[in-house]
Structure 1
């Protein structure tokens, strides 16, 4: 009997796409191997947490799912996507057990640190296809130093639905289990809208819209491209940095590893003060160039993505919001797509920085007052 083929290098061997518009075409995606798994996670009742003013915490937990996987994969690249109140990723057969332990650890940490319930699951790609769905991925190079995965086929959404029904659940981690969240932070200030509003937009295909949804996505991107810098919410020179940084408490929760929260907060205040001075003054320190780092922060930001649909966080003017709403209302009436929007005054950022001396740091963008969670809730209301 022949040995099963080694699929562990599937993702890293995919071609890198440099143009985001190309990703509206389903032909830009490659199907995941059958022996891979999808990991999914989301914060239960995230809408309620947002209503309580805890959206930055919800975003931090979603970022923690990816951070724990990055640290567990030990420098091996893999596809992942940030969803605001959760995340999704795919892993090769040799990484499944490690991925499950990391998911369970983040679930334990979210409960013990923030009293948030994080639902998690690992779903075999074979099961997704047996249910009539597919999972395909593409690699998008957002800058010379960073890339993000895009997902299509409906399989990720199906896996999330199964998770919410309590299927494919993982064993509980022991109380006190702490995930490795090295590099997870949220030190930048929120970014105020420059053009009028920060628009969080979630657009999902209705049924098997196929080519019609691809054409719709291309039209949405065309409208967004008319905005200054395509609606990118992060200033070209990078976001503002202030001290004490607004994410000090959350970063302390992520990095204290069972130690005193207050002591960790004080330690971070001391460590971030010199960094604040460098960003404020622009002075280089050795190999660290604060102006270059800040500019790369904006260049590496994931303000738009395909995640079994199209999600965008745009710095938009009123005319563009109206044009998008008119287009999407017609698409909904035609049975092509359903959508949700959330308008707010600012965008926020959650970051994973393996090293400040490299350009591969990644930055997850969302609206600062509900964002993708509120947009998804509006979508559910129809």
Structure 2
């Protein structure tokens, strides 16, 4: 087993307390990830097709399990790691000493996923040395969002490079021999919440992805994009789609069965019965006890609606007028001062961004856990 020269790299990073828009605009506050760390990727193949068949919850559950498996492993070794959740997959950065156990745990999760849901979970790893050797950058910082939430921020295309490389080179046959169920620990994973709609009938939820064009410097671009979002929509808390009053337990048999099969890889009647009683009592506990209400409040505070993994990925609650303000101001300052940028939700015509928010992001009513 290889030993990292700095397994505590992420926990030792300085915790930034400035705004995220200021942080991404200051590259001196970012650190290069050590070459003996590894990018771990788990991604559900053909997830769009699965979601189209009504399996959105299962896709999210499997992706969440990928993160929980590695976090629990890292926690058992007292190692802090950054992760980036993408809905249908996840990317994590880990030191060398976790690599073997991490891939074995993910492989067991991959097998369970295929057996119980029929999804192909592509998994793999790529060392930071290989990423750096291919002249791809990956710089990281961590920032305090609140008293209970700290998130990693990445600049550079390293994670996207690793994801593309791993998905393109995934070979199912290479993973069939490593089956050690005991290494897969998904304790702490829950899937008990109902879907959350936009807060009010006059509001909407906008999903925005921003990617700097190849050869462009993302730091200044991202900083200005985030400043405009802050100006138009307000703080992260004020534009978050989730609130305590909208969190509702949904004790459906299907949800509990899916959670059971993801965590255990099989049917267990006692587990199902225990969870049913827990859910039944949980509704009373959350609504009528101080500790239950405090749990809900912390859950909302821990909800992360902004991910920067070399791209900006964010979900925003606001009004149609705010969306129109955002779609009109972004192309203006980009064209004048920043040049090239790609938007999911925007078109390019003759080298300029053309907003198409109205056509693409009407009222996105996906579920948030």
Q: 1:106 aligns with which of 109, 132, 136?
A: 109
Alpha carbons of 1:176 and 1:103: their partners in 2 closer, same or farther (altered >3 Å)? Answer: closer
Separation (CA, whole Å) in 2 of partners of 1:335 and 1:267: 55
Separation (CA, whole Å) in 2 of partners of 1:224 and 1:31: 33
- Aligned to 1:127, what secondary structure does the other structure show? helix
Separation (CA, whole Å) in 2 of partners of 1:116 and 1:37: 25
Greater displacement, 192-201 / 328-337? 328-337
Separation (CA, whole Å) in 2 of partners of 1:329 and 1:161: 29
Structure 1 partner of 2:187: 182
Alpha carbons of 1:292 and 1:181: their partners in 2 closer, same or farther (altered >3 Å)? Answer: same
Which of the pair is proportionally richer in helix?
A: 2
Separation (CA, whole Å) in 2 of partners of 1:222 and 1:303: 13
Structure 2 partner of 1:377: none
Alpha carbons of 1:47 and 1:257: their partners in 2 closer, same or farther (altered >3 Å)? Answer: closer
What does 1:252-291 correspond to in 2, within 5 Å?
Answer: 252-260=260-268, 264-281=271-288, 283-284=289-290, 289-291=291-293
- Aligned to 1:295, what secondary structure does the other structure show? helix
Question: Which protein has the larger Cα radius of gyration, Structure 1 or Structure 2?
Answer: 2
Separation (CA, whole Å) in 2 of partners of 1:94 and 1:100: 11
Structure 2 partner of 1:217: 225
C-alpha displacement of 1:334: 4.1
C-alpha displacement of 1:175: 6.6
Alpha carbons of 1:223 and 1:106: their partners in 2 closer, same or farther (altered >3 Å)? Answer: farther
Structure 1 partner of 2:305: 303
C-alpha displacement of 1:201: 1.5
Q: 1:122 aligns with which of 121, 125, 128?
A: 125
Contact 1:104 1:120 in 2 (8 A): yes
Contact 2:4 2:95 in 1 (8 A): no
- Aligned to 2:368, what secondary structure does the other structure show? strand
C-alpha displacement of 1:302: 0.7
Deviations 1:237-261 (A, max 9, x none): 364223525832322223344333x
Separation (CA, whole Å) in 2 of partners of 1:158 and 1:172: 25
Alpha carbons of 1:98 and 1:256: their partners in 2 closer, same or farther (altered >3 Å)? Answer: closer
- Aligned to 2:79, what secondary structure does the other structure show? coil
Greater displacement, 179-188 / 135-144? 135-144
Alpha carbons of 1:40 and 1:327: their partners in 2 closer, same or farther (altered >3 Å)? Answer: farther
Alpha carbons of 1:228 and 1:336: their partners in 2 closer, same or farther (altered >3 Å)? Answer: closer
Contact 1:239 1:294 in 2 (8 A): no
C-alpha displacement of 1:83: 0.8
C-alpha displacement of 1:30: 1.2
Alpha carbons of 1:5 and 1:301: their partners in 2 closer, same or farther (altered >3 Å)? Answer: closer
Deviations 1:300-330 (A, max 9, x none): 1111110111011111211122233334556
What does 1:103-182 correspond to in 2, within 5 Å?
Answer: 103-166=106-169, 171-172=175-176, 177=181, 179-182=184-187
Structure 1 partner of 2:59: 58
Separation (CA, whole Å) in 2 of partners of 1:129 and 1:343: 40
Greater displacement, 174-183 / 108-117? 174-183
- Asked if 1:40 is matched to 2:41, the reply is yes
- Asked if 1:248 is matched to 2:270, the reply is no
Contact 2:110 2:121 in 1 (8 A): yes
- The count of residues paired between Structure 1 and Structure 2 equals 340
Deviations 1:102-133 (A, max 9, x none): 22122112111211111111001011111111
Alpha carbons of 1:343 and 1:79: their partners in 2 closer, same or farther (altered >3 Å)? Answer: farther
Structure 2 partner of 1:94: 97
TM-score normalised per structure 2: 0.83
Contact 2:21 2:227 in 1 (8 A): no
Separation (CA, whole Å) in 1 of partners of 2:276 and 2:83: 31
Greater displacement, 80-89 / 209-218? 209-218
Q: 2:234 aligns with which of 226, 235, 242?
A: 226
CA RMSD of aligned residues (A): 2.7
Contact 2:42 2:89 in 1 (8 A): yes
- Asked if 1:77 is matched to 2:83, the reply is no
Structure 1 spans left out of the alignment, 5+ residues? 351-382
Contact 1:59 1:84 in 2 (8 A): yes
